[in-house]
Structure 1
Amino acid sequence: MKPAPKLIDASLTLKTGYAILRFERDDVRNALTGTNLINDLCDTIAWANNNTAISTLIITGAGKAFSSGGNVKEMRDKQGMFGGSQSEISDSYRNGIQRISRAMHNAEIVTIAAVNGAAVGAGFDLCSMADLRIGCEHARFGETFINLGIIPGDGGAWFLQRLVGYQRAAEMSFSGRIIDSDEALQLGILLECVATADLLSTAERYAQDYASKPPLALRQTKRLMKVAQRQELSDFLDVCADVQAQCHHTADHHRAVDAFINKTAPKFEGN
């Protein structure tokens, strides 16, 4: 396995087949701007993409919040990415917060957001970018940009309507209201809502399950699900045929078939 990245405002815990990335800036409610969390998250995803021994990345926050998104005090003071001319701010978004959107969308590993508290603004959008979301009773969600007179500059409108449909995404974006974990579960934002004490163990249960699957097939499955969102069926079926042919030539496929027939537990090696 390649060495883990050196993180500044987050911690990375390595487990068998998966990793846990925890935001460690509770002092600013794990704000993504004005901290090193953008670099920490993007570097971690790049590292995981290049390590077939990692199947899943769990993302969570330390303290009371998952992430408050953009630092509103910096917006007020026109500091950091919120300062400068219009073109300079535009470039700051492209080279800053939008890096998360691209990294999450291009993540080859399964991503799970374990939402321990408030996830608002860009913090909520980050949740929407994950493959799965597990929440607890303290989780709160909001597409709150409209309340500050701005729009989801990280591409949140693209992700949210793919998650809950246009009408629900529009209502949340137009109102900027905060929803609790029960409503998030009803809307399909959360896969599960559990007690706070069970949040991480629940997310790890999913990660452990995925870590037990053939690594290459798991990554190919995720790639195909992403491709299916933008291709016509006939084109997609052609891609599926080619990828399936590759899978049939992997050693892990033969291990899986032998284990199925012999009723034994397979041990996959990612080849």
Structure 2
Amino acid sequence: MSEKLLYQQAGHVVTLTLNAPETRNVITDRDMMDAVAEGFERAEADQSVRCIVLTGAGKAFSSGGNLRHMKDKTSIFGGTTLDVRDGYRSGIQRMVRTVWNCEVPIIAAVNGPAFGAGCDLTAFCDIRIASTTAVFAENFVRVGIISGDGGAWVWPRQIGLSRAAEMLFTGEPIDAQTALEWGLVSSVVEPDELMEKAYALAERIAYNPPRQLRLSKRLLRQAMTARLDDILELSAIYQGACHQTDDHAEAVDALLEKRDASFSGQ
């Protein structure tokens, strides 16, 4: 895996850190996009992982696209129209698909500015916690492009159509407090408290049985686009599977015996 993404695991929680602070963690460089996709794939494949915390090294979460590459028309921004299409599909779009489809719950600990593709990356996570220094901007129109990584799809689902349109059409940033008021983030904390807050939430999530966590997330994802009847049927199937697990029996026993549960993933 590229050094541009740090992968660290403590117990059942994996921390993924965008690690290119010299560029404010631009995310459209090929090695960064590949590393992020591979990091999430690695965590999802590991059944011991129950929660992922995503953050950025340095003072920014991610400044988004590499402006130098845009100007020089290199990397995913170079070539013919079809070349650019292919570059987006195999690069930034592959990355956000991997994040969105990852069955492990994801917390974005937004430590600073999240612009463009970096802003979209936070929206594809499940939960966002922001530092007071965090700033969110869908600023694609400010550089004469559009969101090529699914921003038009994910933002109305996160904050509603009107506010999503405001962000996309103006390109203007919103601060952490506004993000909290809009429901984009769950909480806002001081910079030196951000990771402590993120890990505390991650541990609360990771206490629970891992397979049931993944199925719960899968239901949430499916419910965003499916009919109620379809979700009810899927829920019944998932529930039938859960009732057969050792972790279900352990959870019930622990509640009846008034003790903490210990889950095996079985």
Instruction: Return the TM-score normalized by structure 1.
Output: 0.96
CA distance in 1, matches of 2:33, 2:109: 18
For 1:152, the equivalent position in structure 2 comes to 147
1:7 Cα deviation from its structure 2 partner: 3.3
For 1:49, the equivalent position in structure 2 comes to 44
- Structure 2 matches for 1:115-126, cutoff 5 A? 115-126=110-121
CA distance in 2, matches of 1:47, 1:35: 18
Q: Does 1:132 align with 2:127?
A: yes
For 1:14, the equivalent position in structure 2 comes to 9
CA distance in 2, matches of 1:234, 1:80: 44
Q: Which amino acid aligns with 2:145?
A: I
Q: Does 1:106 align with 2:105?
A: no
SS at structure 2 position matched to 1:135: strand
Q: Which amino acid aligns with 2:173?
A: I
CA distance in 2, matches of 1:245, 1:186: 39
Q: Does 1:38 align with 2:36?
A: no
Instruction: Return the TM-score normalized by structure 2.
Output: 0.98
Out of 124-133 and 41-50, give the one that drifted further: 41-50
Q: Does 1:214 align with 2:209?
A: yes
CA distance in 2, matches of 1:45, 1:117: 21
CA distance in 2, matches of 1:24, 1:50: 22
1:35 Cα deviation from its structure 2 partner: 5.2
CA distance in 1, matches of 2:197, 2:31: 27
For 2:22, the equivalent position in structure 1 comes to 27
Out of 29-38 and 98-107, give the one that drifted further: 29-38
CA distance in 2, matches of 1:118, 1:18: 24
1:204-249 C-alpha deviation (Å, 9 max, x unpaired): 0111111110111111000011111111111211111111010000
Structure 2 unaligned spans of 5+: none
1:150-198 C-alpha deviation (Å, 9 max, x unpaired): 1100011111110000010001100000111111111111111000000
Is 1:101–1:129's contact at 8 Å kept on the other side of the alignment? yes
Is 1:12–1:20's contact at 8 Å kept on the other side of the alignment? yes
Percent pairwise identity: 39
For 1:174, the equivalent position in structure 2 comes to 169
Q: Does 1:232 align with 2:227?
A: yes
1:24 Cα deviation from its structure 2 partner: 1.3
1:104 Cα deviation from its structure 2 partner: 1.1
Root-mean-square deviation (CA), in Å? 0.9
Is 1:9–1:35's contact at 8 Å kept on the other side of the alignment? no
SS at structure 1 position matched to 2:128: strand
Out of 119-128 and 35-44, give the one that drifted further: 35-44
Count of residues paired in the alignment: 266
SS at structure 1 position matched to 2:97: helix
In the TM superposition, structure 1's runs of 4+ consecutive aligned residues that sit over 2 Å from their partners are none
For 1:3, the equivalent position in structure 2 comes to none
Is 2:108–2:129's contact at 8 Å kept on the other side of the alignment? yes
SS at structure 2 position matched to 1:221: helix
